[in-house]
Every structure is written in C-alpha cells, then in structure tokens.
Amino acid sequence: MKKAEQLKQAEERCAEALAKVKALTEKINTRTWSEETDAPAFEAAKAEFNRAEQDKKVLVDAMEMEHRAMSWTSTATQAPAYIKSDNLGDTAQKIGQRYSFMNAVRASLGEIKLDGVEEEMHQEAIREMPAGISYGRGVLVPQMMQQRDMLAGTTTAGGFTVQTDVERLIPFLDPRGVLYNIGATFLSGLTGNIDFPRNDAAAAAVWETEVASADETSPTFDRVQMSPKRLAAFTDVSMQILRQSTIPMENFVRNRLMRARDNALDTAALSPQSGSAPTGIVGTSGVNTISIAASPTWAKIVQFETEVAADNADFGTLAYLTTPQIAGILKQVKRDVAGNGFIWEGDNMGGGRINGYRALTSTLVPTTGGAHYMFFGNWAKLLVGQWGGMEIVANPYTKLKEATVEIVLNTWHDLAIEHGQAFAYSTSVHPS
C-alpha cells in the first residue's frame, strides 16, 4: 500500500476515534455513562487517536525524506511539476516551499486572483474549518502551512530588507516560547466543542463481615470542556514592501504573526485572564497555590513538588517554570547549609534542573510589581486545542493615506487543564 493511502487511512482513523470520544462524552450529558463499559471504551478510543496521530507523523516524515532524495537526483532542465495537495506524493514541506504568504495577502486585497497553490490551500482550509466557526472574506490557510510594522523607507521597519544584496534577516528578540518547549498536549484538527469525561472522586472499598451486604460505591464524574475562541494577531506592512522586498519578507511577516499567536497562547496559559480569553493554570480550580513572599528557599522549592505529590499527580511531564530573574537567584542559592550544590543547576532553556526535574525560564511568565510567578507540574495535563487553520484578512483602508496594509491573522483555540491538582504555582516569588 502506498504511503499516501496509509496516511489517508490514518486520518480516517483519527476522525473515527474522535467521533467515538464525542459520542461517549455525550453520555455524561444524558446521564447514561457506565463506568464499567464506557470508561474502557473511552480509553481505547483515546489510545487509538494517539496511535493514528503518531502513524500520521511517521508517514509524513517518511514521505518528506523520500521527496528530498528525489530532489537530489533531479536535473536543472527538469521543469518543476505543480503537485496538487491530493496527489499521493505531496508533502507539507514541498507545498510550503511554493506557498506565498504575500500572494495570499495581495489576493485578500483583490490585487491578484487567488490561484495556484494559494487557492488550493484556501480550499483545503475551508474543508478543515469546523461548522459553526464564523470567518470573514479573507484568504484561509490550513494548519499544515502554520509565524511589527514594516515600511520600506524606515530602516528599522522594513527598509533594510529592500536591497538585493541583503543577507539573512536578523530576527527580533522574542520571549522564549513555553507550551511547545515544556510538554503541553496539542490537539489539532478539532471539529466541534469537545467534552472530556473526568472521574473526580475515587470509589471506596469497605471491609464487611462474611454474610453482610456489600455497600454500594458510586464514583462521580464531571467534564472538561473545550470550545473554539478566536485569537487575532496583526501587523502593518507598507504596499512598497509587499511589492519589492527581495529577501523572504513574506516568511518574516508570517513568522511574526505566528509568534504573536504563540505568545498569546503562552500568556493565556500562565496569566490571569478575563473576557473571552481561555482560562489557563491560574484561575483553574484545584490548582495548588504556594505563598513565598520572599526570596525562594530550598524548602519552598520542594513544597511545589510536595503539593502535587500529595494529590497523587507527581507523574508525567514534570517541570519547573519561572522568570530569568528568579533563575538567576536560584543559581546562587545553595540547597542546604552543607553547601551541596545550587538550587538551579544548568541553563535556562530546558537543560537546567531543580530538585531533579527540568527547569525552564521565559519572560512570558507573569510578574506583579516586584513579585514573580513560579510554576511546577505535569505539563502534559495542559491541553491546547485548535479548530481549523487560519484566516488572513488584509485591511488597506484604515491606513490608506500612509499606503499601509494591516494584515490580520485569525485562528481559533482553547485551553483546558485535565486536573488542576497536577500543578502548583506561586505569585509571590521575589528575586532579592
């Protein structure tokens, strides 16, 4: 069987498993859930979804490597064939190499016809866009394509990129991303509101006499819900840049917008939220809170682990997360009076260790006045959902007099915590 056919089958398996999960979670609403039969079925469906997702990744990687090998033997006289995305040999990387973000923007403006790979990807995004999500008249981009103001005459805002002899673009110093690096669980390809049944109380066992009736024990359930919420990122690009930049400015614009989206997701996961933003760790019931109100000590650092362990949640992708300032303090504080090493040893980028666990920093971790936040937990219990791809909307009118186009990127996401007890955090860690 060809790999593309296997990939299609894996995608169908994902869809079938997800449908089973949704059907089973609906039983909670109708109060027909049976722990004896439905709980194993739910776990089996979830396991099948994970297996299918892994199979998809392996197949895509294999197809990508095959096409790389084919490109090594090609000659300069061979005309590049246009490969449609439903062609069995196509890969996301090869399509991405042909896809022009700026052409999509110009098509959104009505300057050019939406055609070629951009039009094909627009149709693909329409197919994967879930029912019930309202999008405008922009150009849609599927998930497989999924990154400041830029003026050609202003060097710091894009002018440096117009020259034909410019080398690689020097990127902006962005905050270090959190969710992708620390082990959060990403759920893509969602098509509707998602309910995860959760057993929120244990069954009890009681010792009885030889002939006494056994006491009935009934575990209780609730649910973790996720639904799409629109997240918008935007940047301004001059019309001159749209037409004359000769280095990969379109990739730069795309990366800027995608980084803005990722930063917003990280912030929602770590900071108190209001309005239409999703609720992350802060604000979720059951999360352990720790009061420090001073420079962190070894005892307080260990307390993060202790609180999570006391709730039977000290397993999985466990890690500490805080600000670079707090990490700097912990690298100077000994674990005990005997001087047996520093609390934080190693780098800030995931290679550091605290109390035997990974330790990371990001400037996206909140601060309040002089106090900094610190987190510990099983980050795989933090779910990040995405519905559909993304929508590019170009607005040439707001800054028409400046010949500037506002590019808006709309995506749909939600966050959820499987068990609040899997996390502990403090809002009162001081760097001095």
Half-sphere exposure in the Cβ direction for 266 (13 Å, CA): 24
H or E element that contains 42? helix 38-72
- What is the value of pTM for the model shown? 0.70
Residue 127 has pLDDT above 60, yes or no: yes
Q: What is the DSSP letter of 151?
A: B
**pLDDT tens-place string over residues 133-192:** 877 668 998 887 764 344 445 444 454 444 444 444 455 566 778 999 999 999 988 888
Helix (H) / strand (E) element for 66: namely: helix 38-72
Return the CA Rg of the chain: 25
pLDDT tens across 80-95, in order?
333 344 443 456 667 7
More confident residue, 209 or 128: 128
Q: Mean per-residue pLDDT for 60-83?
A: 48
What pLDDT, on a 0 to 100 scale, did the predictor assign at position 75?
38
**What pLDDT is recorded for position 336?**
79
Query: In residues, how long is the chain?
Result: 432
pLDDT of 39 reads 83
Residue tagged 């106090």 (tokens): 371
How would you class 190 by CB atoms within 10 Å of its CB: exposed for 0-12, middle for 13-18, buried for 19 or more? buried
Least confident of 43-47, 181-185, 296-300, 326-330: 43-47
- pLDDT greater at residue 293 or residue 31: 293
What is the 8-class DSSP label of residue 334? B
Tens digit of pLDDT for each residue in 7-22?
778 777 877 888 888 7
Closest CA to 250 of 174, 169, 138: 169
pLDDT at residue 241 in the model: 75
pLDDT band at 202 (very low <50, low <70, confident <90, very high): low
Please give the residue that has the higher pLDDT: either 54 or 66: 54
What pLDDT is attached to residue 292?
93
What mean pLDDT, rounded, does the chain reach? 81
Q: How far apart are the first and last CA of the chain?
A: 63
Give the list of residues 6+ apart from residue 232 with CB closer than 8 angstroms, or none.
408, 409, 410
Tokens linked to 263: 């930063």
CA distances in angstroms from 12 to 17, 18, 26, 395, listed in the order given = 9, 10, 21, 38
Residue 248 has pLDDT above 70, yes or no: no
How far is CA 304 from its chain centroid? Answer: 25
Task: List the domain boundaries for the chain.
Answer: 1-73+86-98, 103-198+222-432
Contact 423, 375 (CB under 8 A): yes
Q: Is the pLDDT of residue 383 over 90?
A: yes
Identify whether the C-beta of residue 85 lies closer than 8 Å to the C-beta of residue 125. Answer: no
Q: pLDDT above 90 covers what percent of the chain? A: 34
| Greatest mean pLDDT among 50-59, 214-223, 327-336, 416-425 | 416-425
More confident residue, 270 or 16: 270
Long-range contacts of 39-48 (CB under 8 A, 24+ apart): 39/197, 39/199, 42/197, 45/17, 45/20, 45/21, 46/17, 46/21, 48/13, 48/16, 48/17, 48/20
> Residue 159: helix, strand or coil by DSSP?
helix
Distances (CA, A) of 168 to 59, 154, 238, 252, 275: 32, 18, 20, 11, 40
Please check the confidence at residue 270 and state whether its pLDDT lies above 50. yes
